[in-house]
Amino acid sequence: MSEARKEILGILKANRETGRGGIASICSAHPMVLEACMEDAKEKGSIVLIESTSNQVDQFGGYTGMTPARFRAFVQQVADACGLSLGRVILGGDHLGPNRWRGLGEGPAMANAADLVRDCVRAGYEKIHLDASMHLAGDPGVVSGRLPEEVVAERTALLAQAGEEAAQERGGSPPYYVIGTEVPVPGGAKEPAEAVAPTAAEDVQRTIEVTRDAFHRKSLDEAWGRTIAVVVQPGVEFTNDSVTEYDPAQAAALSHWIQQVPRLVFEAHSTDYQKGTALRRMVRDHFCILKVGPALTFAFREAILALDRIEEEMIQRVEDRARMREHLEKEMLEDPAHWKPYSRGSEVEQRISRTFGFSDRSRYYWGLPQLQQRLGMLLTNLSAKPVPLTLLSQYMPRQYEAVRKDSLARRPQDWVRHRIREVVDLYSRACR
């Protein structure tokens, strides 16, 4: 059993018994986000859980262009650069299921989903969230409605079976599983997040029982014994312009109920932008695994656009500037598929939401070669000569304070990671 694998089991056990200790699940494929998270783990002597979502990474490349094997190699590369042993990293897959192939019908959609699970397990992913909750072409009923629990459970068991087969082929320790959904599909919520009710305890119980029975019918009792968490809605959400705050009183019944269920803890998605006090309380209330993703790339985008303003002040000739804001806007307008469904209102409102919204639609574009080239140009421009502290204070005041205290180097790439680590630190404190 790997060092990180053993440690995460200890975290889950401690949380069940005492309400102390949790772990943040980093759902991001952005290199500077992963660097910031790994630097944090190295400094604090902790493990780091990194998950690729089913729309980021799949057997066909996802929107990042990476397969599970390539994503693992990428994580290894970042870990090596940060001086963090890969033994301190747990790799996971989030929302693994047929979501990407909903229009194909059950047969081909589930075949693709099973192949995705197999590829993740073969690549060494140790934590697999199985999500078969979405309607597929040909399914009866209203597409916007919920599938029958029995259908979801049967498809979930099929995916677990694929994972077990891949684990036997690969050898070594088989994966742990997470079941349940109770969250928006990968990509984020589209509707206003004003009133989000926590999952009812009886609904979680039903999910657990029906899924356990489906596993048993396929002789997957050992896999069920490695099911460590169930995804629930603790009453938190965010959209482009709103955040639903955690309310412990609303989630109290759910929090108390999980203590009577052997082995399992709660996994909470969409915890981005919650206050530090709320994150700590969620961990205490047995929402042990806290998913975070867009808030991290949101912080990255804030830092990059702050550097863009500094560059504008420092470099007189327009043609010598990287002009990140301008080029990001250009790429988003040329390919609106990643932001258009999430933006409403006037032209001004859409412009603000597509770049600055909490859903952080810009995260789908940073990997484009043309933006990567511009980012390199920006960092080079601002490294050519020292950025005046007055400009740093104007556009990145917290990084200015850290530089003045000699706790942060005077390099623009370090300022970006520092901004990301401010978010990471909220989770580190909550999960200690």
Q: Residue 397's domain is classified under what CATH number?
A: 1.10.400.20
- pTM score of the predicted model: 0.95
Q: According to the model, what pLDDT value does residue 23 have? A: 98
Mean pLDDT (whole number) for 342-363: 94
Same domain, residue pair 286 and 313: no
Q: Bridge-partner residues for 26, per DSSP? A: 50, 292
| Residue 189 reports pLDDT greater than 80 | no
Long-range contacts of 12-17 (CB under 8 A, 24+ apart): 12/228, 12/229, 12/265, 12/288, 15/265, 15/283, 15/286, 15/288, 16/258, 16/259, 16/263, 16/265, 16/286, 16/288
Same domain, residue pair 242 and 352: no
Same domain, residue pair 154 and 303: no
Same domain, residue pair 305 and 208: no
Same domain, residue pair 199 and 276: yes
Using alpha carbons, select from 120, 128, 135 the residue that is nearest to residue 229: 128
Same domain, residue pair 213 and 312: no
Mean pLDDT (whole number) for 178-195: 65
Distance CA 419, CA 32 (A): 11
Residues of the chain with pLDDT > 70, as a percent, come to 96
Using alpha carbons, select from 240, 201, 229 the residue that is nearest to residue 344: 240
Q: According to the model, what pLDDT value does residue 144 have? A: 65
Same domain, residue pair 343 and 417: yes
Mean pLDDT (whole number) for 55-75: 97
Same domain, residue pair 7 and 112: yes
Average pLDDT, the chain: 95
Which among 292, 309, 328 is the end of a domain?
A: 292
Which among 292, 321, 342 is the end of a domain?
A: 292
Same domain, residue pair 287 and 303: no
Sole residue written with tokens 């690729």: 52
- Number of independent structural domains in the chain: 2
How do residues 231-284 score in pLDDT, each as one tens digit?
999 999 999 999 999 999 999 999 999 999 999 999 999 999 999 999 999 999
Q: According to the model, what pLDDT value does residue 186 have? A: 55
Domain housing 344:
298-431
Same domain, residue pair 264 and 390: no
Same domain, residue pair 9 and 48: yes
Which among 250, 274, 292 is the end of a domain?
A: 292
Note whether 31 and 78 are within 8 A (CB).
yes
Q: Is 328 exposed, middle or buried (0-12, 13-18, 19+ CB in 10 A)?
A: buried
Q: According to the model, what pLDDT value does residue 422 have? A: 98
| Residue 92 reports pLDDT greater than 90 | yes
Tokens of 86: 């890969």
Distance CA 8, CA 15 (A): 11
How do residues 29-60 score in pLDDT, each as one tens digit?
999 999 999 999 999 999 999 999 999 999 99
Distance CA 285, CA 258 (A): 9
Q: Residue 265's domain is classified under what CATH number?
A: 3.20.20.70
Same domain, residue pair 312 and 232: no
